Structure 1
Amino acid sequence: MDHLIGLLLGTEQDWPRAYETLIARLGPIRGPDGTSHTLRTTRVTIEPFNLRDTPAHDLVIDRLAYWYYHPREWLKKVALMDDVYLLNSPFTFQSMEKHAAYCAMMRLGLHVPETVLVPYKNPVDHTKWAYTAERYNRPFDLDAVADGLGYPLFMKPFDGGAWVGVSRITDSAQLHAAYDASGARLMHLQQSVEGYDVFTRSLSVGPETMVMKFRPELPMHERYAVEHGFLDATAGDEVVTISRLVNAFFRWEFNSCECLVRDGVVHPIDYANACPDVALTSLHYYFPWAMTALLRWTAFCVVTGRRPSLDMDTARYFAIADAAHLSYPEKLAEYRRLADDYFTVDAYREFCDTALAHVPALVAEWVASPGFDALLVDTVRATYPPAEHDRFVAHFRGLIDLWRRENPA
């Protein structure tokens, strides 16, 4: 049985080349029923489509439709009409964004910092604006809102990404300057978690999660620290649970989650990322893990005939949130159970141990090959100015060599 995996891409070249190479090397896979399956990839093009057309794809990895509406509507069509499996759901990313993601996780009792949505600074471009504003928009005291949250705080777009438009605010002057600059963007004000012990960013692909120590103040190539054991077992498990909970709840299966850990309390601050960072020059040491996880989860989905679940089943999660007799750790355990059930974790692990047992060695062998080194060099040349090529090639080669030593084939 042949399966086609589509890649809906923007400007990225590094991880798509890596993924395509690994799929081509994967070979036939034996499914749970004994049938043989082969996987191949194609890059999705953008063109007119008839709503009754039958797509050839079994699964699509989407890295574009969060801002490009035409392919977004194609994704909706192939999910609704043809059961094509999607990473990620265009339905929830379009409707939920950052704001609703905060609301849902607050509803589930997670330690999301206090957050206020403030009206637009500048009028929206709509003919009814003046009448509506005059009749219904109430004047408000921006300083009073900020004082209620307490300084320092962050102002950030309610639907933003990649830290665009995010400002750290320490006083009234900065508050008003940032609000004036926000223009027609709708903004949150959010408490800052000061004095945190660890900033984590977790990259999740299906049921697999890599929790990394993140240093946002450093250049991108240094933000992910190659460090192990920076969280104790309890906090580490909670960060993984939150990441998996978010992804199962919203049907986001290729996503990243940022959490701040302070005094043992985990505060999720950003976890709606339609296009999580998987660049080779960002992840470096962790890049082989990301490609392994993406290869295994997509293979599992198509070979086992996993179908998209468009119903979010929110009532099951909210019932746990409303259970007064459950403590916070007990609620986390129940959320983890629901998330693991959604991702069929046991079946996935068995599949990896049997049908995909050769994948870790396959990835390790490829990472040691001239082909991978050529990808690394091409990516550096496309990312950095010529004067820095030699420096960064050596830098990333060193980090990849460290991964190879710690993950022998």
Structure 2
Amino acid sequence: MDHLIGLLLGTEQDWPRAFETLIGRIGPIRGRDGVTHRLDTTRVSIEPFNLRDKPRHDLVIDRLAYWYYHPREWLKKIALMDDVYLLNSPFTFQSMEKHAAYCAMMRLGLHVPETVLVPYKNPVDHAKWAYTAERYNRPFDLDAVAEALGYPLFMKPYDGGAWVGVSRIADSTALHAAYDQSGERLMHLQQAIEGYDVFTRSLTIGPETMVMKFRPELPMHERYAVEHDFLDATVGDEVVTISRLVNAFFRWEFNSCECLVRDGVVHPIDYANACPDVALTSLHYYFPWAMTALVRWSAFCVVTGRRPSLDLDTARYFAVADDPGLDYRGRLAAYRRIADDYLAVEEYREFCDTALPHVPALVAEWVTSQEFDDLLVDTVRGTYPPHEHDRFVAHFRGLIDLWKRETLS
């Protein structure tokens, strides 16, 4: 049986080349039913589509529709009408919208910092705005809102990404300057978690999660620190649970989650990322893991005939949140069971062990090849100015060599 995996892409070239290469080398996969499955990839083009057209794809990895609406509507169509498997639901991943994600995780009892949504600074371009604003817009004291939250705080777009429009607010002057600059963008004000012990960014692909120490103050090529024991077991498990909970709740299977850990308390601060960072020049050391997870989860979904689940079934989570007999740890454990059930963790592990045992060695062989080094050099040349090419080629080769030494020894 043949399966086609579609890649809906924007400007990325590095990880798509890696993914296509690995899928091309994975070979036939024998399912539990004895059927032999063959996987292939194609890059999805953007063109007019009839709503009754039948797509060729069994699965689509979307990296574009969070901001490009035409392919987003195609994804909705193939999910609703054709049962094509999507790693991120287009019905809940609208333009990297953070607001609903904050609301949902607060409802489930996570330690999300206090957050306030403030009205637009400037009127929206709409004919009814003036009348509606005159009658219904209540005057408010921005300083009072900020003081209730407490300085310092952050102002950030309710639907933003890539840290665009995010400001750290230390006082009233900075508050009004940032609000004036926000224009027609709708903004959150959120408490800052000062004096945190560690900033984590966890990348989750299907049931696999990599928790990385993140240093946002550094340039992108240095933000992911190669450290393995920076969280104790309890906190590390909580960060993984939160990451999988978010994904299972919203039907996302390719997403990143940012948490701040202070005095053993985990505060999720950003976890609606429609297009998580998987660039070679960002992940470096962790890039082989990400490609391994993406290949294995994609293969699992198409070979086992995993069906898309568009309904959120939020009542299961809310029943846990409202159970008076559960404390915070008890709720986390219950959420983890629900999330692991949705992500088919046990079935996936068995599949990797029986149908894909060769994939880690396949990835390792490729990472040590000249072809991978060519990809690394091409990516550096496409990312950095010419005078920095030699420096960054050496930098990323060194990090990949570290992965080889630690993984292959």
TM-score, normalised with respect to structure 1: 0.99
The residue type paired with residue 377 of structure 1 is V
Aligned twin of 1:178: 178
The Cα shift of 1:408 comes to 1.1
The Cα shift of 1:201 comes to 0.1
> Which structure 2 segments of 5+ residues have no match?
none
Query: Does structure 1 retain, via aligned residues, the 8 Å contact 2:96–2:160?
Result: no
Q: Quick one: distance in 2 between partners of 1:162 and 1:97?
A: 12
Aligned twin of 2:313: 313
Listed one character per residue, the Cα deviations across residues 125-165 of structure 1 (whole Å, up to 9, x for unaligned) are 10000000000000000000000000000000000000000
Aligned-pair Cα RMSD in Å: 0.8
Q: Quick one: distance in 2 between partners of 1:28 and 1:125?
A: 55
Instruction: Classify 1:95/1:393 alpha carbon distance in 2 versus 1 (closer, same or farther; 3 Å).
Output: closer
The Cα shift of 1:97 comes to 1.7
Map 1:210-289 to 2 at 5 A.
Answer: 210-289=210-289
Listed one character per residue, the Cα deviations across residues 212-247 of structure 1 (whole Å, up to 9, x for unaligned) are 000000000000000010000000000000000000
The residue type paired with residue 284 of structure 1 is H
The residue type paired with residue 143 of structure 2 is D
The Cα shift of 1:88 comes to 1.0
Listed one character per residue, the Cα deviations across residues 241-269 of structure 1 (whole Å, up to 9, x for unaligned) are 00000000001100000000000000000
Aligned twin of 1:64: 64
The residue type paired with residue 276 of structure 1 is P
Listed one character per residue, the Cα deviations across residues 36-84 of structure 1 (whole Å, up to 9, x for unaligned) are 0000000000001111011000000000001101000000000000000
1:159 aligns to 2:177 (yes or no): no
SS of 1:162's partner is coil
The residue type paired with residue 19 of structure 1 is F
Map 1:124-135 to 2 at 5 A.
Answer: 124-135=124-135
SS of 2:193's partner is coil
Aligned twin of 2:117: 117
Aligned twin of 2:48: 48
SS of 1:247's partner is helix
The Cα shift of 1:34 comes to 1.1
Q: Quick one: distance in 2 between partners of 1:158 and 1:128?
A: 23
SS of 2:380's partner is helix
TM-score, normalised with respect to structure 2: 0.99
Q: Quick one: distance in 1 between partners of 2:252 and 2:123?
A: 33
SS of 2:48's partner is coil
The Cα shift of 1:96 comes to 7.8
SS of 2:275's partner is coil
Map 1:189-200 to 2 at 5 A.
Answer: 189-200=189-200
Aligned twin of 1:293: 293
Q: Quick one: distance in 2 between partners of 1:32 and 1:258?
A: 37
Q: How many residues align?
A: 409
The residue type paired with residue 209 of structure 2 is T
Aligned twin of 2:83: 83
The Cα shift of 1:94 comes to 1.7
Map 1:319-358 to 2 at 5 A.
Answer: 319-358=319-358
> Which structure 1 segments of 5+ residues have no match?
none
Aligned twin of 2:19: 19
Q: Quick one: distance in 2 between partners of 1:244 and 1:87?
A: 13
Listed one character per residue, the Cα deviations across residues 326-359 of structure 1 (whole Å, up to 9, x for unaligned) are 0100100000000000011000000001100000
Query: Does structure 1 retain, via aligned residues, the 8 Å contact 2:67–2:95?
Result: no
SS of 1:180's partner is helix
SS of 1:281's partner is helix
SS of 1:93's partner is coil
SS of 2:210's partner is strand
SS of 2:261's partner is strand
Percent sequence identity is: 87
1:402 aligns to 2:402 (yes or no): yes
Q: Quick one: distance in 2 between partners of 1:406 and 1:187?
A: 44
The Cα shift of 1:87 comes to 1.6
The residue type paired with residue 2 of structure 2 is D
Q: Quick one: distance in 2 between partners of 1:406 and 1:340?
A: 29
The Cα shift of 1:95 comes to 8.2
Aligned twin of 2:137: 137
Q: Quick one: distance in 2 between partners of 1:249 and 1:332?
A: 13
Aligned twin of 2:371: 371
1:207 aligns to 2:207 (yes or no): yes
Q: Quick one: distance in 2 between partners of 1:400 and 1:110?
A: 36
Q: Quick one: distance in 2 between partners of 1:257 and 1:151?
A: 24
Query: Does structure 1 retain, via aligned residues, the 8 Å contact 2:96–2:273?
Result: no
Q: Quick one: distance in 2 between partners of 1:53 and 1:128?
A: 39
Q: Quick one: distance in 2 between partners of 1:352 and 1:196?
A: 37
Q: Quick one: distance in 1 between partners of 2:20 and 2:364?
A: 16
Q: Quick one: distance in 2 between partners of 1:305 and 1:53?
A: 21
SS of 1:210's partner is strand
Q: Quick one: distance in 2 between partners of 1:107 and 1:155?
A: 22
